Amino acid sequence: MNRQDTIRFLPLLLPALTVSVSVTAGTIAVALVYLAALVLLLVERGRAVWPEGAVTRSLLALVGAYFLATALAAPYPSHWAKFAEELWIKGLLVAVPLVAGRRPSVVRGALQVALVMGALAAAYAVAQNFLGVDPIRGRSIFRPDFGHTAVSGFFGHHLSYAGQILMLVLMTGALVLDRLERPWRERIPLLAGLGLMALALFWNYSRSAWVGAAAGLLALVWLHPGPARRWTLGAGGAALLVVMGIGPVRAHFLSIFRLEQHLTRLNLWRSSWDGLTAHPLLGFGPGNFSALLREHMVPGHYDSLAHSHNDLLMHGVNAGLPGIAAALTLLLFTCRLFWREWRRGGPDAWVFAGALVVQVGITVAGFFQVFQTDDEVEMLLYFLLGCALALATARKGETTRV
């Protein structure tokens, strides 16, 4: 890296180092990325690097839907702090390309650091499983309602870690498949890191993350024919053997098919849907889920009343059908871009494959859980997607390779 690359690398190095280990440090790091992007935007002016226009426009559409839903929330309160909380991290889709859209080496370095930190966090999570406690918080991670521990990494809740470890497994898996023909001495560290992440994912015991990982794995199978496909299927088969071979993991996995285990989720889905059909245009406005429950809560059992247990339904509650449409449009345009850039090949193809399957995995997992209101999950998700968008921006003008 030259001096200019180093200057641009530092703002991206901070979130790469912190988002897997501390939500507070990650928040500060993301804010510094925005500061760096603003400075570069002012300095470069007309030369500033923006991500693909369709992605930027769909992100603005999502912001616009939430803005209108907040401004016109009456008779419910307008929670502007919640509006900012729901959207500010998503700006990494623009900020990361602004910082490093002309410096692919900067982005590659930041991604490598992020994956290394993810592997270290996974090692800590695996240690948690054997200790049975969270040493940082000095509390047990045993879940008496399920009869097993659930690792949470450096975070306070196992579901916050679930979204992260799901994405790290898929992103690292894409890198491993890209390095299949490298010498073993280069592959062993990657396989070791992936193995630690896979164990952390299993012992996290989040069924939604397991289902999302399976969907992402299938997407990797589809993307990679030949030897890579055999490796992916082999890894999936090994994972299934682990699931069926460890009693608590097997029991928890099979409980996916027991409807009585999902009464809270089903009731929250019905309540959210009833609220959405009653307020389809703008929803209830962000921060007003309790108001929805007061008016549309269906009778039945509830373990939690915090959210819809579904990412898209939560967009609908917050910003109506326009919020859902904007979120789906953003998903569609990012996936289309990553697919196109993956087909071009080159040394960064694994990044686009990884970003694509991360979108698949977190979207499928988000059908059963609300992941994208957790800052821990969003910071890693939009950092990874922002890096992929920055690399796509850096490749503009290259000869297409299919």
Give the pLDDT confidence of 104-123 residue by residue, as tens digits.
Answer: 999 999 999 999 999 999 99
Q: Which amino acid is at 70?
A: T
Helix (H, G, I), strand (E, B) or coil at 142: strand
Catalogue the long-range contacts made by 154-159 (C-beta closer than 8 Å, 24 or more residues apart).
154/20, 154/21, 154/22, 154/121, 154/124, 155/23, 155/376, 158/204, 158/205, 158/206, 159/206, 159/369, 159/371, 159/374
Looking at this protein, which amino acid is placed at residue 231?
W
Distance (Å, whole) CA 264 – CA 379: 27
C-beta separation of 100 from 390 below 8 A: yes
* pLDDT value at residue 293: 95
Alpha-carbon distances, residue 325 vs 58, 61, 66, 135, 280 (angstroms)? 9, 9, 12, 43, 12
- pLDDT of 129 reads 93
Average pLDDT along the chain = 90
Q: Give pLDDT tens digits for 175-190.
A: 998 888 788 888 899 9
Bridge-based pairing of strands 142-143 and 133-134 is: unpaired
Bond into 189 cis (ω within 30):
no
Q: Give the separation between CA 171 and CA 387, rounded to whole angstroms.
A: 12
Output the tens digit of pLDDT for each of the chain's 402 residues: 666 667 778 999 999 999 999 999 999 999 999 999 999 888 887 778 899 999 999 999 999 999 999 999 999 999 999 999 999 999 999 999 999 988 899 999 999 999 999 999 999 999 999 999 999 999 999 887 777 789 999 999 999 999 999 999 999 999 998 888 788 888 899 999 999 999 999 899 898 999 999 999 889 888 887 776 777 777 777 766 766 666 666 666 666 656 556 788 999 999 999 999 999 999 999 999 999 999 999 998 888 888 999 999 999 999 999 999 999 999 999 999 999 999 999 999 999 999 999 999 999 999 999 998 889 999 999 999 999 999 999 887 443 333
What confidence score (pLDDT) does residue 260 get? 57
> Cα separation of 218 and 293, whole Å?
36
234 near 191, Cβ under 8 Å? no
Q: Is 138 left (phi over 0), alpha (psi -120 to 50) or beta?
A: left
Tokens of 24: 């507070």
- DSSP bridge partners of 142: 149
* Measured distance CA(42)–CA(188) in Å, rounded: 44
Beta strand 133-134 with 139-140 is antiparallel
Asked whether the beta carbons of 211 and 364 are under 8 A apart, the reply is yes
What pLDDT shows up at residue 233? 73
Classify 225 in phi/psi space as left (phi over 0), alpha (psi -120 to 50) or beta: beta
